[in-house]
Amino acid sequence: MAKKNLINKNVLIISYVFPPVAGIGGRRWAKFAKYLNKKGVNVSVISFTSDNTEISTWAKDVSGINVTWLKPAYPKILNKQPKSIIQKLLYRWQLLRVKILTRGNYYDKAAFSEKLIKQTVLAKIKEKKIDTIIVSGFPFNLTYFISKLQSYIKTKIIVDFRDPWAWKESYSLNVMSSNRKAEEQRKEKYVVQHSDVITVPDQKMMDELCNLYPSQKEKIVHLPHGYDIEPTILSKEAKNQSPKIIYFGTLYANIKNEITDIAKVFEEDKLGCKLDFFCHVKKYMDVFDKRQLIGRKIFYHDALAENELYQKLMSYDYYLLICPDYAKDYIITKIYEIIFHRIPIIFVGKKGRLSQFIEENKLGFFVAKNEIVTKMPLIFNSKLSLNYNYNFPIENYSVDIITNKLIELL
């Protein structure tokens, strides 16, 4: 689509996390904002400030894009793990208060911001002559608040579910009362019914939503995650004598058992394998430290900007992916980045659509959680063969290309 046809198209993106605030939740719409802007769409953004002083690795992507920053009303103490006795007491008090004041998910950070977000959006529609609002969740209350505006604004509303909502009991819904779950289900249904378009990043999510809301399936669209590689020279280094493995991105909660078994593998390894973590939060170091692996076979590093990370990837033999059970059926963002670099994936987790995708496309190995100690050494010793699929059509998953599909929805 030619840029001149889009020059008067005004889009407002609402994402709770957005660069330069750090967080994986800001990546998807930072990338789309970047390419919408490049293709001639006038982009404005509403997001929320954070006490986190770390700068997002995607900050450069949104340089020059107008962002309106709102102050969160959610208690700050609930955003971090309490350590001292005073912090623990404050945490419990604030959590009790939030539970009393909310009917649904009390971990939804947008819960108390409806009035502020409504006022800001209406003002922005008038100021920027907004044609289309795109609102992304989690937190899902953002999508609910915006959908409630449908009755008195003419602006098209696109809702983006980055993750499953109530239909998968995500974000701690599995530990909440039936009444709270029912409230989230009510809001989810309202959003689906009162938005113009629903986008999801995964085909499995699209199928689940269409089955749940068959009368609304025409408005549900698959808008996948993608890789974004700026023009640069990536040079593959010579193969290592001993396998080098990389893990980057989020180190998920509830994978300590898997990490413990991986530590056993490296403790017993005779090849001199090395595993590098590039993460914002250095979880599970104690597991490796107990076996005196830190600084010898296991190395933790700060997260890198994309261009630095992509060049560094070329020196690795495998990418290690450890996912919790709830992610077993979803093709996550980093998968396409790894495929672009033609690095075999070692996926540790539960069998599902993700393992099927990797194995059927010959992109790496699947290691079930009870096979870590026995199967991973076979991979490192080249006793399990892989005829890597260098012909996978990765070009279809560039954010640049995917943005053209988004433009058709505006």
* Per-residue pLDDT reduced to its tens digit, 81-93: 888 999 999 999 9
Residue 54 pLDDT level (bands cut at 50, 70, 90): confident
| Segment 170-175 mean pLDDT | 80
Lowest mean pLDDT among 1-15, 191-205, 396-410: 1-15
Residue type for 265, please? V
Query: 196: which DSSP letter?
Result: S
Q: What are phi and psi for residue 347, nearest 5 degrees?
A: -100, 115
Residues 6+ apart with CB under 8 A from 148: 190, 194
pLDDT tens-place string over residues 256-281: 999 999 999 999 998 899 999 998 88
* Mean per-residue pLDDT over the chain, rounded: 91
Lowest mean pLDDT among 69-83, 320-334, 368-382: 320-334
Q: Is the Cα dihedral 132, 49, 165, 34 positive or negative?
A: positive
What does pTM read for this prediction?
A: 0.86
Q: Is domain 3-223 given the CATH code 3.40.50.300 in the classification?
A: no
Fold classification of 244-394 is Rossmann fold (3.40.50)
Max distance between CA atoms of the chain, in angstroms, equals 67
pLDDT tens-place string over residues 108-165: 999 999 999 999 999 999 999 999 999 999 999 999 999 999 988 999 999 999 999 9
How confident is the model at residue 7, as a pLDDT?
A: 59
Same fold yes or no, 3-223 and 244-394 = yes
pLDDT at 171 over 90: no
How confident is the model at residue 325, as a pLDDT?
A: 86
Kindly write down the DSSP assignment for every residue of 90-151, as one continuous string.
HHHHHHHHHHHH-SS-TT-TTTT-HHHHHHHHHHHHHHHT-SEEEEEESSTHHHHHHHTTGG
Residues 6+ apart with CB under 8 A from 339: 227, 363, 392, 394, 397
pLDDT at 56 over 90: no
How confident is the model at residue 237, as a pLDDT?
A: 55
pLDDT at 364 over 80: yes
How confident is the model at residue 1, as a pLDDT?
A: 43
Each domain of the chain, given as residue ranges in start order, spans 3-223, 244-394
pLDDT at 236 over 90: no
From residue 84, give the alpha-carbon distance in Å to each of 51, 76, 87, 167, 281.
19, 15, 5, 36, 20
